[in-house]
C-alpha cells in the first residue's frame, strides 16, 4: 500500500474456479487514495469467514461477502491504535480459510472463525507490518493475502524560528497541499532575500508521484534588489537543518543539507535562532508567517 512503496506479498488458502479476488489498494487507488495505515478490520463469520472489510486511515476499502453469507450473521471488529500495526496473520487453511488470527506489535491478537480443519499457517515478515490485504471469496473466504511493508516515520511539525505579529499571514504547505498524499518529499527550496533581510520562501514538492507547487510565499515589501536563490534536492540530498537570525523579522536563513553543505540567505542583523529540525530528521515541507517580510518559519520533518 501507499503508492511506490516496495512491499512483499504472502498468502494462505487456495484459489478455485469460482474465487473472486479483491485487492484493497486497487479499489482505493481508483478513487485517488493511497492509504498509509490499517485502522480496523471487520470480519463476518460463524464457523468460517463469509465477509471481510478493511479500513485504511478510517476509510473502508469495501465489504467483500461470500455467497454463503446469510442475513443475521454478525461481524466482529479488530480496531488498531494509532501506534499499533498488524505484524502477523496466522490461522488454519485447506480448500478455504478455516480460521484467522491477527497479531499486532503491541502483543494483542484476535481470532475469527472456529473451524479446526486445514493446516496451520503464519504470514509474517521480520521488521515489516501488514500494509494491505488481498482476499479471495467464493462461498467463504478462499484465501487471504498480506502485503508487507515498512512503517513510515510520522511527519511532525517543528518549533518556529522568528516572531508572530498582528499582521502576520500564515502559510502551511503540508496541511494545505500535501497531507493525505503518498510519499511527500521536498525536491527544491527557494529563498527570496536582498542580502539584508528575507522576504519569502518557496517549496517545491513531489507527492503521489507528481510535482506539487504551492507557489511563492513572499512579503509585500519585496524590492528591486530581491534575488531568488534555489537549492535542488534529491533522495540523497535533503534538508537536515534550518536556522538563522531574526529580530521582528527573519534577517537570515541558514539551510543545512545532508551532504554537509550549508547556505546562508539574507543579512547579519537580529539575533540567532537555533536549528528547528531535530537531529537525524529530514525536512518534508515548509510553513511560516509573512508581513512585509518573512516573520517566522517552521517545517514538517520525518
Q: Which residues share a beta bridge with 161?
A: 297
Cβ(124)–Cβ(58) under 8 Å?
no
Tens-place pLDDT, residues 257-268: 999 999 999 999
pLDDT tens digits for 94-116? 999 999 999 999 999 999 999 99
Find out if CATH 2.100.10.30 is the number for domain 8-149: yes
Domains 8-149 and 156-301 are alike in CATH topology: yes
Q: What is the mean pLDDT of residues 176-198?
A: 94
Average pLDDT for 229-241: 97
SS3 state of residue 244: strand
Residue 147 has pLDDT above 90, yes or no: yes
Which 3 state secondary structure label does DSSP give 274?
coil
pLDDT at position 194 = 97
Q: According to the model, what pLDDT value does residue 277 have?
A: 98
φ, ψ (nearest 5 deg) of residue 206: -130, 135
Q: Which of 10, 7, 18, 195 has its CA nearest to residue 93? A: 10
The domain limits of the chain are 8-149, 156-301
Which string of b and e fits 125-158 if b means at least 16 CB within 10 Å?
beebbbbbbbbbbbebbbbbbbbbbeeeeebeeb
CA distances in angstroms from 164 to 6, 168, 248, listed in the order given: 42, 6, 8
CA contacts within 13 A on the Cβ side of 132 = 27
pLDDT, residue 5, reads 57
pLDDT for 3 equals 45
Confidence of residue 34 (pLDDT cuts 50, 70, 90): low
User: CB within 8 A of 2, min separation 6: which ones?
Assistant: 34, 35, 36, 131, 149, 152, 182, 183
Q: What angle do CA 177, 182, 188 make, to 5 degrees?
A: 60
Contacts of 154-157 spanning 24+ positions with Cβ under 8 A:
154/302, 155/184, 155/284, 155/285, 155/300, 155/301, 155/302, 156/300, 156/301, 156/302, 157/287, 157/298, 157/299, 157/300
> How far is CA 196 from its chain centroid?
38
Check residue 110 and give its pLDDT: 97
Lowest mean pLDDT among 7-11, 35-39, 133-137, 187-191: 35-39
Q: What is the pLDDT of residue 233?
A: 97
Q: Which residue has the cell 502477523?
A: 88
- pLDDT for res 293: 98
Band of pLDDT at residue 31, cut at 50, 70 and 90: low
Q: Is the model's pLDDT at 2 over the cut of 80?
A: no
Q: Is the pLDDT of residue 146 over 70?
A: yes
pLDDT at 28: 82
| DSSP 3-state of 38 | strand
286 contacts 173 by C-beta, under 8 angstroms: yes
Q: How confident is the model at residue 83 (pLDDT cuts 50, 70, 90)?
A: confident
CATH number of 156-301: 2.100.10.30
Average pLDDT, the chain: 94
Query: CA 195, CA 257: separation in Å to the nearest integer?
Result: 21
Number of separate helices (H) and strands (E) present in the chain: 2, 27
Greater pLDDT, 2 or 279? 279
Amino acid at each position: 500500500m501507499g503508492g511506490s512503496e516496495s512491499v512483499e506479498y504472502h498468502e494462505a488458502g487456495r484459489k478455485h474456479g469460482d474465487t473472486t479476488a479483491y485487492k484493497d489498494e486497487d479499489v482505493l487507488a481508483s478513487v485517488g487514495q493511497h492509504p498509509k495505515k490499517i485502522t480496523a478490520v471487520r470480519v463476518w463469520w460463524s464457523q468460517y469467514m463469509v465477509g471481510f472489510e478493511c479500513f485504511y486511515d478510517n476509510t473502508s476499502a469495501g465489504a467483500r461477502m461470500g455467497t454463503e453469507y446469510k442475513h443475521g450473521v454478525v461481524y466482529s471488529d479488530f480496531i488498531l491504535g494509532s501506534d499499533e500495526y498488524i505484524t502477523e496473520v496466522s490461522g488454519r487453511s485447506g480448500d478455504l480459510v478455516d480460521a484467522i488470527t491477527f497479531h499486532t506489535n503491541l502483543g494483542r491478537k484476535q481470532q475469527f472463525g472456529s473451524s479446526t480443519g486445514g493446516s496451520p499457517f503464519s504470514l509474517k515478515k521480520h521488521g515489516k507490518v501488514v500494509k494491505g490485504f488481498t482476499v479471495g471469496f467464493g462461498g467463504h473466504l478462499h484465501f487471504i493475502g498480506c502485503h508487507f511493508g515498512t512503517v513510515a516515520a510520522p511527519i511532525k511539525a517543528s518549533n518556529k524560528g522568528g516572531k508572530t505579529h498582528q499582521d502576520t499571514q500564515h502559510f502551511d504547505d503540508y496541511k494545505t497541499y500535501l497531507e493525505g498524499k503518498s510519499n511527500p518529499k521536498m525536491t527544491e527550496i527557494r529563498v527570496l532575500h536582498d542580502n539584508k533581510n528575507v522576504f519569502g520562501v518557496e517549496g517545491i514538492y513531489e507527492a503521489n508521484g507528481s510535482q506539487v507547487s504551492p507557489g511563492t510565499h513572499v512579503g509585500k515589501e519585496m524590492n528591486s534588489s530581491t534575488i531568488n536563490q534555489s537549492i535542488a534536492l534529491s533522495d540523497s540530498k535533503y534538508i537536515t537543518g534550518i536556522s538563522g537570525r531574526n529580530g521582528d523579522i527573519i534577517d537570515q536563513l541558514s539551510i543545512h543539507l545532508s551532504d554537509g553543505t550549508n547556505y546562508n540567505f539574507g543579512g547579519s542583523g537580529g539575533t540567532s535562532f537555533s536549528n528547528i529540525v531535530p537531529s537525524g530528521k529530514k525536512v518534508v515541507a515548509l510553513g511560516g508567517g509573512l508581513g512585509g517580510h518573512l516573520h517566522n518559519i517552521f517545517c514538517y520533518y520525518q
